[in-house]
Amino acid sequence: MQQFDMFINGQAVQSDSTFDVINPATAKVFAQCQLGNASHVEQAVSAAKAAFPAWSQTTDEQRKQLLHEVAGAIEANMPELMQLVTMETGKPMGGLNGVGSGMEVGGSIAWTQFTAELQLPVDVIQDNEVARIEVNRKPLGVVASITPWNWPLMIAIWHVIPALRAGNTVVMKPASFTPVSTLRFVQLASEILPPGVINIITGPGSVGGLITGHPDVSKVAFTGSTPTGKRIMESASGNLTRCTLELGGNDAGIVLPDVNVKEMAPKLFAACFHNNGQTCAALKRLYVHESQYEEMGQELAELAKNVVVGDGLEEGTELGPVQNEAQLNIVQDLADSARADGGRFLSGGKRIDREGYFFEPTIVADLTDGHRLVDEEPFGPIVPMIKYSDIDEVIERANRNECGLGGSIWSSDLDKAAALAQRLECGSAWVNDHGALQPDAPFGGIKQSGMGVEFGLYGLEEFTSIQTLKVVK
């Protein structure tokens, strides 16, 4: 049984009690972590606050170098981190189209390296014989990072590295389902960064609430469900704490009638099912023109029936289990609802009879807007395929959903598709792709999918305040 400690002020910290971490491929405990409490929150926030003055005054070159060393530590420990990610999330080491633990750890390295090189330029508004006016970006202070269970290490990197690059210090709280890869990362980073610059506490959601509502926390970065994001925003509002919230998505993909179905079906399948559908920006509502509806359904169903589902540690596995039993029950409930609503199951539809939290990759036809499986985010391996006839109408239907994270248009006419994609009400839109993210392009949602952006210079600026400086000559 592996044991993992919290890290506060550069030191391993234990609690009076622990909690279990379950491998979703076996439904068995494989690790134990410390159960943090209010006293640990106070220690961590105090350590981060004390470390902030010195860290914020380090030079850009110093912070850049240290963050490159952090990237090097992740890379040097990549096999171990990959295994931890697979054991806690269930995602395969390789995965469907290479989307697995290797991508998660490799992406963490790449994002750290790229973000380390970002610069925040001084914006000179006026410089003449009268005065010089410039706008400077300054770090905020202590940043709280609250991360989800679907991409635990990668999303931790998305929060922490830009916060540190801008000169902030950090207190982290990972999801209690998947804390171990993040704990190992912070252990590695703590060997490189000054004490107190990065701290991590593990425990239930109530511990996260204590962090986000703390008066000495200057910003909250949160990725997770919309209801939890609203609670975090409420707890932060008492101190007017800034928030970046990347929340739930129910992304629509619209397939135009000019596509080659056999060529496009594998790309669509991957967009829907990578990480077993457990990605905020996965394609979750697939609208297909009536002229190709049946053919597309047959192609997708064949792919679903032949994809390799199993333990992520086994070679050749493409899709793993649902990460936790509660989420598995949500997927099953939505499948049952779709069946009751007259949905036609082209593949799957039930739990796989083996240990662990496995569910068959499922394609459901003949539902439409207003049915639960279409309107609600399943966050699992089940996708509704919805028929449409008019492009203007389907754009309106896609936009009717309360979420606005991502969306996509699939077509051989790239100019037409790009114009239609810009009509989608979402933070990111793709043509002939879906959910593809990169460290230099901003990503974030609108409507009920959140506020603020991550990645690149736009994301780095979210971890700063503006100070206007005027020097009269």
Cα separation of 465 and 473, whole Å? 26
Report phi then psi at 170, rounded to 5: -135, 140
- Taking Cα atoms as reference points, which of 431, 415, 428, 423 lies closest to residue 397? 423
Q: Output the CA torsion sign for 60, 63, 67, 69.
A: positive
**CB-CB contact of 10 with 195 (8 Å):** yes
Q: Which residues contact 357 (CB under 8 A, 6 or more apart)?
A: 24, 25, 27, 90, 321, 322, 323, 324, 325, 327, 328
Which tokens in the block code for residue 204? Answer: 């239930």
Q: Which amino acid is at 255?
A: V
Rounded to an integer, what distance in angstroms lies between the CA atom of residue 146 and that of residue 247?
Answer: 12
Asked if residue 364 lies in contact with residue 265, where contact means CB atoms within 8 angstroms, the answer is: no
Active-site hit among 104, 246, 377, 461:
246
Longest dimension (CA), the chain: 78
Report the C-alpha gap between 187 and 386 in whole angstroms. 47
Q: Does residue 75 have an active-site annotation?
A: no
From 33, 280, 403, 426, the catalytic residue? 280
Q: Are 433 and 267 in contact (CB under 8 A)?
A: yes
Non-local (6+) Cβ contacts of 340 within 8 A are: none
- 426 as an active site residue: the answer is no
Catalytic residue list: 246, 280
